[in-house]
Structure 1
Amino acid sequence: MNFERGSKPNPTGNLIAYCHVFGENPIAPGGKIIASNVVVSFLKIGDNYPVVTFPPVALPSKEELMKILADNIHLYDVVQLPDFQMPENKEQANQYIQERMEQFNSMVMRYVEFCKAKEKKTQNQTLSDQLEQVSEPLETLANLSMEFRNTSGIAREATRLKMERIVDYFHNNHPTLDIDNFKKALSVPGKVGDELVGLYIQKFNAIQIENYETASDLRRRILEIEESTAT
C-alpha cells in the first residue's frame, strides 16, 4: 500500500483509496479518478473491527479529490492504488473488474490489520507506562517495609516516615490497592509477618499487570495467614 498521507504504524481508521483511470471509467463516463472511503471502527466487538466501505465514486481529477478532502485532510489516510485500465473485450473486462475488486478487498483487510496493530501497540504502551509509573514506588515500598521490620529506634522511625510518604502516594494514585491492610501487616511479628508483607507486595504487582487470578490466589493466602494470627 502506497500511503500518500498517514502511515501503516499509525492509521486513523478513515481511509481514502483512489486510482487513476485510463480509458473507460465504469463508475461514470469521463472520470479520471475512482475513489472509495473505508472506515474502520475501533469500537470492536471481541476481536472483530466493524468496517464500512462506501461505494466508489468517479471524479474528474486528483485535484478535485484533494479539494474535497482539504478541509479535513488531517482525518484521513490516503493511499494510491494501481492504475485502472479496463480491457475492451467484454469477457476480459468482467474478469478484470473481478480481479480489481478482490485486490481492493485484500487492501481493506491489510488496512484493518494495521488498525489492529496500532491498538495493540497503544494498549501495550499504556500498560508499560502504568507499570513504569508504579514499579518504582512498589519496589521502594518493599525495600522500606523490610528495613522497617529489621531496624529499631531512630532508624526505624526514619524509615516509618519514608514509608508514610510512599503509602500516601498509593492512597492518592492507586486506591484499588488495599494499602491500609498492608500497613497492619507490618506490625505482625516474626517470619509470619515477613511472609505476609511479601505476599501483599506480590499481590499489588499482580493487580498492576492485571493478573487477577494470581492476585486472587495471593489474597486467599493472605486471608489464611491473617485469620491464623488473629486467633
Structure 2
Amino acid sequence: MNFERGSKPNPTGNLIAYCHVFGENPIAPGGKIIASNVVVSFLKIGDNYPVVTFPPVALPSKEELMKILSDNIHLYDVVQLPDFQMPENKEQANQYIQERMEQFNSMVMRYVEFCKAKEKKTQNQNLNDQIDQVSEPLETLANLSIEFRNTSGIAREATRLKMERIVDYFHNNHPTLDIDNFKKALSVPGKVGDELVGLYIQKFNAIQIENYETASDLRKRILEIESTAT
C-alpha cells in the first residue's frame, strides 16, 4: 500500500483510496480519478472490526479530489492504488474489473489489519510508559482535570476513566498525595471548583519538590474553601 498520508503503524480508520484512470472510466465518462472511502470502526464486535466501504466515485482530476479533502485532510489516510486502464475487449474488460475488485478488497483487509495492530499496541502499552513520555506526571493530571471539568456526556466519562488510571498511578507511586480529596474537588462546580483543583495541583507539586512550607499554606487555603463550599 502506497500511503500518501498516514502510515501502517498509525492508521486513522478513515481511508481514501484512489487511482488514476486512463481510457474509459466505468463509473462516469471522462473521469480521470476513481476514489472510494473506507471506514473501519474501532467499536469492534469480538475480534471483528466493522467496515464500511462507500461506493466509488469518479472525479474529473486529482486536483478536484484534493479540494474535497483539503478542509478535513487531518482526518484521513490517503492511499494511491495502481492506475486503472480498461481493456477494449469486453470479455477482458469484465475480467479486469473483477481482478481490480479483488485487489481492492484485499487492500481493505490489509487496512483493517493495520487498525487491529494499532489498537492492540495501544492496549498493551504500559500506563507508566505513557506517563513517562511527559516531562512531569502532574502535568498529565492537571491537563486531564481541566479537560474533565470542561467536557460533558460521553467525552466527560471517557476523560474520567482515563483520570482514574492516572489517579491509580499516583496512589501506587506517590501515596503522600491527597488524591481522594482531589477527586472530590473535581465535582465542585464553578469557579470555586476550578480554584480548588488548581490549589491541589500546586500542593502536590510542592510536596514532590519537598517545599513543605508552601504545601502547608496551600492546604490551609484548600481547607478554608472546602469548609465554605460544603
Q: Tell me which interval the TM-score lies in, with the shorter structure as reference length.
A: 0.5 to 0.7
Unaligned regions of 5+ residues in structure 2, if any? none
SS in 2 for 1:38: strand
For 1:52-104, what per-residue CA distance to the aligned partner results, in whole angstroms no more than 9, with x for missing partners?
00000000000100100000000000000000001000000000000000000
Higher alpha-carbon Rg: 1
Unaligned regions of 5+ residues in structure 1, if any? none
In 2: Cα distance, 1:133 partner to 1:94 partner: 53
SS in 2 for 1:184: helix
Is the 2:148–2:156 contact (alpha carbons within 8 Å) kept by the matching residues of 1? yes
**TM-score normalised per structure 2:** 0.58
In 1: Cα distance, 2:83 partner to 2:77 partner: 19
Task: Report the more deviating stretch, 100-109 or 118-127.
Answer: 118-127
In 2: Cα distance, 1:93 partner to 1:157 partner: 53
Give the superposition deviation at 1:124. Answer: 1.2
In 2: Cα distance, 1:49 partner to 1:154 partner: 21
SS in 2 for 1:24: coil
Give the superposition deviation at 1:194. Answer: 45
Is the 1:127–1:209 contact (alpha carbons within 8 Å) kept by the matching residues of 2? no
Give the superposition deviation at 1:129. Answer: 3.2
Task: Report the more deviating stretch, 170-179 or 138-147.
Answer: 138-147
In 1: Cα distance, 2:45 partner to 2:29 partner: 40
Which structure 1 residue ranges, 4+ long, deviate > 2 Å from structure 2? 126-225, 227-231
The alpha-carbon distance between structure 1 residues 175 and 115, as it changes in their structure 2 partners (threshold 3 A), is farther
In 1: Cα distance, 2:12 partner to 2:67 partner: 20
Is the 1:131–1:209 contact (alpha carbons within 8 Å) kept by the matching residues of 2? no
**TM-score normalised per structure 1:** 0.58
The alpha-carbon distance between structure 1 residues 78 and 217, as it changes in their structure 2 partners (threshold 3 A), is farther
Is the 1:16–1:38 contact (alpha carbons within 8 Å) kept by the matching residues of 2? yes
In 2: Cα distance, 1:55 partner to 1:200 partner: 53
Task: Report the more deviating stretch, 133-142 or 44-53.
Answer: 133-142
SS in 2 for 1:134: coil
Is the 1:32–1:59 contact (alpha carbons within 8 Å) kept by the matching residues of 2? yes
Is the 1:86–1:93 contact (alpha carbons within 8 Å) kept by the matching residues of 2? yes
Q: Aligned residue for 2:71? A: 71
Is the 1:30–1:60 contact (alpha carbons within 8 Å) kept by the matching residues of 2? yes
Task: Report the more deviating stretch, 192-201 or 126-135.
Answer: 192-201
The alpha-carbon distance between structure 1 residues 161 and 58, as it changes in their structure 2 partners (threshold 3 A), is closer
Is the 2:131–2:140 contact (alpha carbons within 8 Å) kept by the matching residues of 1? no
In 2: Cα distance, 1:163 partner to 1:208 partner: 19
For 1:178-208, what per-residue CA distance to the aligned partner results, in whole angstroms no more than 9, with x for missing partners?
9999999999999999999999999999999
The alpha-carbon distance between structure 1 residues 131 and 43, as it changes in their structure 2 partners (threshold 3 A), is same
In 1: Cα distance, 2:151 partner to 2:19 partner: 75
Give the superposition deviation at 1:125. Answer: 1.2
